[in-house]
Structure 1
Amino acid sequence: MQSELKLRIASGLVLAAIALGATWAGGSAFQLLSVAIGLLVYYEWSTITRLAERDFQGNAIGWVSQGILAVLVLFDHMPLTLPVFAGCVAVAILWVAIRKTSFWLPGGIAYAGLTSISLAAVRGADYLGLVATLFVFAVVWGTDIFAYFVGRAVGGPKLAPAISPGKTWSGAIGGTICGILAGTAVFLAHFSLQDLRIPLIALVLSVSSQVGDLFESFVKRRFGVKDSSRLIPGHGGVMDRVDGLIFACVAALVLVLGQILFSGGRESAFGAFLLGP
């Protein structure tokens, strides 16, 4: 086994242990993980897009925005966090429009901000949040792993050759099927399956995760970089590892947005949504 592969496996195991440990603990531990991921994502985004070089003051606005959102996520005030997030993005758009600088600034604030917000919102602080987070992990990881292996084994037409030449339709379909099966299996380990709601939700999350993967590939190709950073030995950057997870969690957030905005509880709205009426 090559040393690079050993390093990749070791790093992957450490990352999985941290993610699952924080998920099991919930509360402050998972909120800290969510915030850390969001801040690192903004760091990588601003580095890739060269925001500091293009617009130093605008990039400072981005960091202040991420700091404010991080504090709100840590204090578990989701109904307030979402309007503040919208305000931060609006301020960045106004800044860019006035100064005629790069729209990658509000894009980065939105992308990184939604990372920490959606992760924390899915987990919540209750048992349903634990199940919901494991459900999302299962869908995303199942999709990612099997899309790679099915794509390599079957091959065929490319999914988006201009963005990510290695991805195929066979891999996308195989990954989606396995993501649905993995997510449904996690749900069945805790609750009974009454209808097709859970497989359909898993389908939405699986497709969203693959769109997230393609989106990050588009950003990197646009700026001519291979990895988002070198923060993770053998893996590249944080964005390289959580691109699909970000979009899947954002999709989960969208499904229950109204419930989050009009409730002050710390329970996982997505967990309750999975369980159904």
Structure 2
Amino acid sequence: MLLRSISALIGAPLLLILTYLGGPYTAFLAAVIGLLALHEFQEIAHKLKVKIWMKATFIGAIVWLLLITLDLREWMFPFLIFWLLISLGRMGLLYPDVLIPEVALNFLSIIYTVVLSSHLYLLRSLEQGRSWTLLAFFLVWTTDTFAYLVGRAFGKHPLAPHVSPNKTIEGSIGGLIGAILMGLIASQVMGGMPLPFFLGLSFIVGISAQIGDLFESALKRSAGVKDSGDLIPGHGGFLDRFDSMLFAFPIVYYIVLLLAAR
């Protein structure tokens, strides 16, 4: 418990400071989260007896990060198509030594970790990006906190018993209520968009954050591990701490990009 508290007291302010500073600081933060999460994902895949394409995935991750940080964003979609073709082509060339599970997990390894985490930097780069990114953090944290407190106090009906037996429908609803309350506060503090926009954004993030948490739990259960890693004392790995964020960053980025940052 002490290690967990110390890690939170150090990690949360560092996270907020690097996000607040923006530019290369946030780019560095997003890259560290993505690359360490990629390493943990590959460790989980290894436990699933799946061969990892170490060189290919590392090169792909670095290329993606360079595209983002050098503002070559018109190459983002082509990169994803190329990476898909490379993954499928490897099976075409090496079958039956390479099968669908290996292709799927190696393709997903970059998408789930580096691509999703890079949206932290993309979101921070938008107009008013500092406010939107901090809102994403607080929406996820509020969702997690309310889900835990409400679930512990009133939870009776399991949400996904085969994935996370302790999570309940009541806790999930509590998390959504917490996210909406944070959206109400944000609408007053940030302004610039009507209240329904903030409420809708908060509701969607509240759902996506919980789905991100459940997906990572399912991933760990499939590999028979409790934590994705041990890099954060008292908290497990980077995937354990950022599973909800990985889903939230792209959601907030594209909603803001399409509806607010015009």
Shift of 1:274: 3.9
Moved over 6 A (4+): none
Are the counterparts in 1 of residues 31 and 65 from structure 2 also a CA contact under 8 Å?
yes
Partner secondary structure for residue 49 of structure 1: helix
Q: What value does the CA root-mean-square deviation take over the aligned residues?
A: 2.1
Partner of 1:181: 181
Distance of 1:183 and 1:98 partners within structure 2: 50
Partner of 1:190: 190
Q: Which runs of 5+ in 2 are unaligned?
A: none
CA 1:97–1:45: 2 relative to 1, 3 Å:
farther
Partner of 2:160: 160
- Paired-residue identity, %: 32
Of 74, 77, 80, 1:79 maps to: 74
Distance of 2:40 and 2:66 partners within structure 1: 20
Are the counterparts in 1 of residues 186 and 198 from structure 2 also a CA contact under 8 Å?
no
CA 1:190–1:253: 2 relative to 1, 3 Å:
closer
CA 1:48–1:189: 2 relative to 1, 3 Å:
same
| Residue-pair matches, total | 256
Matching of residues 198-277 of structure 1 within 5 Å: 198-255=198-255, 269=257, 273-274=259-260
Distance of 1:81 and 1:109 partners within structure 2: 13
AA partner of residue 157 (structure 1): H
Give the TM-score normalised by the residue count of structure 2.
Answer: 0.90
Distance of 2:15 and 2:77 partners within structure 1: 24
Partner of 1:113: 114
Shift of 1:32: 0.8
CA 1:120–1:193: 2 relative to 1, 3 Å:
closer
AA partner of residue 119 (structure 2): S
Shift of 1:51: 8.0
CA 1:157–1:77: 2 relative to 1, 3 Å:
same
Shift of 1:191: 1.4
Shift of 1:192: 5.6
Matching of residues 37-116 of structure 1 within 5 Å: 37-50=33-46, 54-56=50-52, 58-96=53-91, 98-99=93-94, 100-101=98-99, 102=102, 103-116=104-117
Partner secondary structure for residue 50 of structure 1: helix
Shift of 1:70: 1.8
Are the counterparts in 1 of residues 64 and 115 from structure 2 also a CA contact under 8 Å?
no
Matching of residues 125-144 of structure 1 within 5 Å: 126=127, 128-144=128-144
Are the counterparts in 1 of residues 140 and 205 from structure 2 also a CA contact under 8 Å?
yes
Distance of 1:61 and 1:52 partners within structure 2: 19
Partner of 1:123: 124
AA partner of residue 68 (structure 1): V
The answer to whether the aligner puts 1:36 opposite 2:32 as a matched pair is yes
User: In terms of mean alpha carbon deviation, does 12-21 or 187-196 score higher?
Assistant: 187-196
AA partner of residue 222 (structure 2): R
AA partner of residue 87 (structure 2): A
